[in-house]
Amino acid sequence: MLLIKNGRVMDPASKTDAALDVLVDGERIARVGVNLAAPDAEIFDAAGLVVAPGFIDLHCHLREPGQELSETIETGTRAAARGGFTAVCCMPNTSPVNDSASVTRGIVERAAAKSPVRVWPIGAASIGSKGEALAEIAAMKNAGIVAVSDDGKPVATARLMRQVMEYCDSLGLPVIDHCEDQSLFAGGVMREGRHSVRLGLKGIPAQTESICVGRDVEVARLTGARLHIAHMSTRGSLEYVRTSRKEGLRVTCEVTPHHFTLTDADVRYDSNYKMNPPLASREDRDALIQGLADGSIDAIATDHAPHHPASKDVEFDRAPFGITGFETALALGLSELVHPDRLSLMRLVELLTTGPAGVLGIERKIAEGEIADLTIFSTDRSWTFRASDSPSKSRNTPFDRRTFRGAPVATVVAGRVVCKELAATPAPNSHR
């Protein structure tokens, strides 16, 4: 048994925010209450810390099978545990693509052997994510996928999207789309605007994303099926989502920590600022923060996209898109959103827990009988992130050596502490 004492329990499902103890017996929560005692239990003193439901990441790339130089299920999930994540959904653009039950089973088995956290695979929508024929979605569902996506690229056509949505709706799976009009994308490397002109880099207009979101919303209207927009980055996209929800369509969306933190003004000739969708304008970033605060956005997802140093250490134009993100997600949420009073702490917890759970159609709460997946964190512990200390095989992050206020402290999966105080290496002494 594990007794988590003196913590500030924050549970968005029941709107609980109170000093409570949590007693865990085996894989489940046995009791939640004041002054709990259990003589045989191991004690975790959570005084001064928040005890939240386990964080769920709807969007990451673990690179296994096939790209193990950049990441493996083991190294990626160790980084996830350090970031406070108890479950991660991995995108299917591996090699081979996760478009069949045998690949899904391989990921599930590897995760069972090597991962400290839950790994929930996402299956490809089309075979090889080529945008032609439907992948074997029902067989993959039986093997363990929780959603469907051709991430890395959009579902190729409205017609294919219709088929995928109708099929997935009958199976109860959400369809996640990486929204991008590829004709407008046209080899761009950052957001089109005055900063791309200043840097002399080929731009990607904001409408590249919103045109595709608009298409998808229309197909969701046609089918009545569930649609989830991945890594949404523009105000135009958000407006489509807002309008569709007002009409009662089942549309959800996620935003990454880098898109609520950075803008195209931050981009420099450093491939750690190259991601897809690209960093957006300040107006877009501010609109996303508003959407996170007012409930229009359902989840914060990392889009953890590790790339081996050799592949990122090239000219900006030639570098692959993407940055790592597990270990800095919570700290960015606290530093950029909660501490500056743009978002309540409860809302941040919701965006990392019940929000993503709801997208997957599951529940997360801190209550008797529930699975004991918990994330324990500090809202104000000061620490410095060092990519070189990460268990991830990759180092591609613009947040290396950034000092944060707030850090994950312990990650509990199925009643077991899988990670404790590792991410929070103390900040260097500041000279006053």
Can you give the binding site for Zn ion, defined by CB under 5 A? 151, 178, 303
Classified as helix, coil or strand, 406 is strand
- Cβ closer to Zn ion: 203 or 306? 306
Q: How far apart are the first and last CA of the chain?
A: 45
Indicate the residue whose CB is closest to Zn ion. Answer: 178
Percentages helix, strand, coil for the chain (3-state, rounded to 5) are 35, 25, 40
H/E run at residue 370: none
Of residues 99, 303, 317, 373, which has the active-site annotation? 303
Classified as helix, coil or strand, 190 is strand
Q: Is 303 marked active-site? A: yes
- Cβ closer to Zn ion: 110 or 178? 178
Pairwise CA distance, residues 92 & 40, whole Å: 43
Residue type, position 298, single letter: D
- Cβ closer to Zn ion: 276 or 335? 276
> Is the separation of the CB atoms in 188 and 225 below 8 Å?
no
H/E run at residue 33: strand 28-33
> Is the separation of the CB atoms in 422 and 79 below 8 Å?
no
Pairwise CA distance, residues 108 & 111, whole Å: 5
- Cβ closer to Zn ion: 151 or 284? 151
Going 334 to 303 to 178 to 167, the CA torsion angle's sign is: negative
Order the strands of the 227-229 sheet from edge to edge.
Answer: 55-60, 85-90, 118-123, 147-149, 175-177, 227-229, 251-255, 299-300
Pairwise CA distance, residues 4 & 24, whole Å: 8
Residue type, position 343, single letter: L
The residues annotated with a catalytic role in the active site are 303
